[in-house]
Amino acid sequence: MTDELIVAVEGAVGRIRLNRPKALHALTTAMCAGVLDALEAWRGDAAVRCVVIDHAEGRGFCAGGDIRMLADSGAGDGAEARAFFHTEYRMNHRLFTYAKDTVAFMDGITMGGGVGISQPCRYRVATEQTKLAMPETGIGLFPDVGGGWYLSRLPGRIGQYLALTGHRLDGAECLALGLATHFVPADRVEEAKAAIAARPDDVAAALDGLSADPGAAAILAQRADIDRLFASDRLEEVFAALAADDGDFARATLATLKAKSPQTMKVSLKLLLDGRTMPTFEDEMRQEYAVGSRVVQRHDFLEGVRAVIVDKDNAPRWDPATPEGVSDHVIDQIFAPLPDDEAWTPN
């Protein structure tokens, strides 16, 4: 077990705590493997009634995956990146199909891989400190870890908006959209964990008793604009709709999209289009693994990491630079199924 993960059984509760505070608890391959090991150990242990996932010290629940490692690997043969995705997606799938109650406390930054580890849980607790986003198109990636499944099932076209823009949701918005099942004030989170420990067979009641009204969800005020402007599954038509609208929201949103990778924005739209009718979460993970194993070695991801994380000039040079430059053929190549001996499997 890695020291980046704290695993313990406290009474009837299995506890998994992410423990990389200097990296905002970003996930490593070893951490994902550790979560899998813990879930497997508790699966047949009648003494463990439910599982709680949270973070140790620090201001974030989980900022995502180890992006620097993925970029370094992607610049080479991509083997380490594929190993990470393979293990992380198995963890996502295991949580999605886990029989016992699982609870994620999304207190603080919850992005990328943090969304992937929290959304499969039966109970997902937001606070006023929650900042949930899938910002991957800004570094030439796409909302993976089940993003094609979760975002495609949000009301209207909100999922497409979130996937393309990387917009950050607060706790009230997470609750309104169903990305959180409960809203608990941050200063009562430890109380909520104690309530679960006292009632491990009735997690819902434990959380219901501490839930609060988070107030209005700001994103719902933009729902009509989002549904209209993001109605198309073709990126060129989204850009055209935004450019034709003279409202402040459309102008700001178009400026945001112009900074993102056209290639991975197109990947994201197809991912959500496919994900909405994907038969099972296992099928979703299999497709995302095929897509991720290719995207991580393409120019835009390496360039996005250089611009945002390494050099920090925030001036990525995307190639192609425009939506029109990204051909349907390239997208089809990225989405092509892997050979059976290379494909993702749940076990």
* Catalytic residue list contains 113: yes
Strands 5-10 and 50-55 come out as unpaired
List the catalytic residue out of 107, 144, 288, 300.
144
* Catalytic residue list contains 136: yes
Place of tokens 């989170």: 189
Amino acid at 1: M
List the catalytic residue out of 65, 148, 159, 292.
65
Place of tokens 């997470």: 174
Taking the C-alpha atoms of residue 107 and residue 56, their distance in angstroms, rounded to an integer, is: 11
List the catalytic residue out of 136, 274, 300, 303.
136
Which contacts of 232-237 are long-range, i.e. CB under 8 A and separated by 24 or more positions?
Answer: 233/160, 233/269, 233/270, 233/272, 233/273, 234/269, 235/164, 235/262, 235/265, 235/266, 235/269, 235/323, 235/326, 236/323, 236/324
The β-bridge partners of 8 are: 15
List the catalytic residue out of 113, 138, 146, 275.
113
Mapped to the 3 state alphabet, what secondary structure does 161-227 carry?
HHHHHCCCECHHHHHHHCCCCEECCHHHHHHHHHHHHHCCCCHHHHHHCCCCCCCCCHHHHHHHHHH
Which DSSP symbol is given to 311?
Answer: S
Distances (CA, A) of 29 to 66, 126, 296: 9, 26, 16
Query: The tokens of 8 are what?
Result: 């313990």
* Catalytic residue list contains 275: no
**126 in Cβ contact with 182 (< 8 Å):** yes
Q: Which residues are identified as catalytic? A: 65, 113, 136, 144
